[in-house]
Structure 1
Amino acid sequence: MSLPQILAAARSIENGFAATIPDGWMQGRTSYGGLSAALALVAAQRIADDLPPLRSATVNFVGPLAGEVEVTARLLRRGRNATWISAEVGAEGAVGLSATFVFMGSVEQSTLHLHEVPAPADLVPLAEALPLPERGGPSFAPNFERRFGLPRSDVAEPVICWWERLRDTEGLDPMVALLLLADALPPGVMPLTGPAPISSMTWLINLLTAEPRTDDGWFLLRALGNYAEKGCSSQDMAIWNTRGEAVAVGMQSIALFG
């Protein structure tokens, strides 16, 4: 069941909607984080029809989400150029995810131009990239097509870089589709630990374009671990389109249980 199908089956509630998270979108005992965040963004976008583009999202993964969830949003502030909206996803009366979204229009007076988010130098081009094995991976993995983005190496490094695209984006807002995709990688430190239980705690993503575009739905995702100590891990994240243009950057904190 894809996100467009989940949204089509949702029912309206006060300040949002109720939806059911199917087993095919689970990650262990909770919903895949990108799906929960995308649901929150949909609720936030419905606050107003004339919102400027999404520019930043701060997401807190508070507790497990499964089965029927309630997704609500409220306006925090609307200024002349920027709007802040908070959203929550809850189940059985408990909050599972809280998020703050910042929507911001262009500032035409600004003359600063800085684009220093280069794609990996040893990137494997999409046409030459090998697909990941179909078997294995979390329950939500079949919702994506995945290919290795870096050459195979015998040296374990705290980085994962894959080409990915959603199998079904029919009718989805491009920003919702990108947020749904953006959390699809395992933690960057996973090559050092091997398979281990993990739990995302916080996620910050900044959008570098008002309208994410790419070819045939493919984006390059990278998670680069920069810290791990006593079960806490931090990583930098980035997303590029097929033309090598950065469309998003982020940071994430992850709990490691192994």
Structure 2
Amino acid sequence: MTALKTILDTLTPHDGGWHTDIPADWLQGRTAYGGLSAALALHAAQASDSDLPPLRSALIAFVGPLSGRVSVRAERLRRGRNAAYVQADVIGEAGLGLRATFVFMAPVASTVDHRIDRGSAETPPTADAAVYRGHPAVTFSRNFEMVDATIAPGAGWRRWVRLAERNGLDPAVELTAVADCLPPAALRLIGGPAPVSSMTWQLNLLGPPAPTRDGWWLLDSDTDYAHQGNSSQRMTVRNAEGLVVAEQMQSVALFG
């Protein structure tokens, strides 16, 4: 399997952006795994400007398939005193595959300090846990180590997930790569494998990204709505201490 750091290190400057090749072991069907494409876009966005504040939010549209040689471009949309908006595109042989808007924002003084405690009683995997490397039939997932956790009520998934090779990664890039790792929650409703495609993804970080213990993140995904081939799902990411570090939402097309 190809380490994410290896892919990032092969980004080569080209015509105002960068290009690289998507390894076959990071494919999800006929396209690159969404977390990889988003991580490439974020890496390019971070490199496009100097002294950016921490990542706070990512708005991602999965426009088309990405495989083989891709180019990545990033440009500043606006930079104010506290926040910077950067757009990044990942373009493949078939055209635009991903468009992302990243919001980087420094802490600001505020009288509001409101946080809902939604910690988890789940404990991170121990040395003797039943760890497995993804699913044999899902190519990209073999880059991750996983441990099944107690499934939350409703239609969804809950797993501990970490990159099998994660050394040298920026914490925000690592979190972005991991956060999209669960199958679409609506597959629980379908009851088995079916063609699906993520259309949009919003990732909100609830604080400056930081590494988690032993690389483990607890991912949750639940379906709010599924009708006429479209589903909407809510997702969370917790660190090894059980604290929610990111909230997410995805729109997913269902073809089954």
The reply to whether TM is greater than 0.5 is yes
Unaligned runs of 5+ in 2: none
The question of 1:18 aligning with 2:16 is answered no
1:128-179 per-residue CA deviation (whole Å, 9 max, x = no partner) reads 864357653411011000011116x9xx931101000001122211100100
Q: Which amino acid aligns with 1:50?
A: D
Cα distance change, pair 6–133 in 1 and its aligned pair in 2 (3 A): closer
Question: What's the counterpart of residue 173 of structure 2?
Answer: 176
The question of 1:29 aligning with 2:27 is answered no
The question of 1:211 aligning with 2:202 is answered no
Cα distance change, pair 235–66 in 1 and its aligned pair in 2 (3 A): same
SS class of match (2:5): helix
Asked whether the 8 Å contact 1:124–1:149 carries over to 2, the reply is: no
The question of 1:228 aligning with 2:229 is answered no
- 1:83-162 alignment to 2 at 5 Å? 83-92=84-93, 94-107=95-108, 109-116=109-116, 118-120=118-120, 123=122, 125-127=124-126, 130-132=130-132, 135-150=135-150, 157-162=154-159
Unaligned runs of 5+ in 1: none
SS class of match (2:85): strand
SS class of match (1:35): helix
SS class of match (2:178): helix
User: How far apart, CA to CA, are the structure 1 residues paired with 2:252 and 2:24?
Assistant: 23
Asked whether the 8 Å contact 2:229–2:255 carries over to 1, the reply is: yes
User: How far apart, CA to CA, are the structure 1 residues paired with 2:158 and 2:230?
Assistant: 21
CA RMSD of aligned residues (A): 1.8
The question of 1:44 aligning with 2:45 is answered yes
1:54 positional shift: 0.3
1:181 positional shift: 0.5
Identity %: 47
User: How far apart, CA to CA, are the structure 2 residues paired with 1:225 and 1:250?
Assistant: 12
TM-score of the superposition, structure 2-length normalised? 0.93
Q: How many residues align?
A: 253
Asked whether the 8 Å contact 1:126–1:149 carries over to 2, the reply is: no
The question of 1:189 aligning with 2:186 is answered yes
TM-score of the superposition, structure 1-length normalised? 0.92
Asked whether the 8 Å contact 1:90–1:97 carries over to 2, the reply is: yes
Question: What's the counterpart of residue 250 of structure 2?
Answer: 252
The question of 1:66 aligning with 2:73 is answered no
1:211-254 per-residue CA deviation (whole Å, 9 max, x = no partner) reads 32310000000111110001100000100001111110010000
Q: Which amino acid aligns with 1:86?
A: Q
Moved more, 59-68 or 9-18: 9-18
Asked whether the 8 Å contact 1:15–1:74 carries over to 2, the reply is: no
SS class of match (1:252): strand
Asked whether the 8 Å contact 2:12–2:20 carries over to 1, the reply is: yes
Cα distance change, pair 85–134 in 1 and its aligned pair in 2 (3 A): closer
User: How far apart, CA to CA, are the structure 2 residues paired with 1:234 and 1:98?
Assistant: 19
SS class of match (2:215): coil
User: How far apart, CA to CA, are the structure 1 residues paired with 2:249 and 2:39?
Assistant: 17
Asked whether the 8 Å contact 2:133–2:141 carries over to 1, the reply is: no
SS class of match (1:6): helix
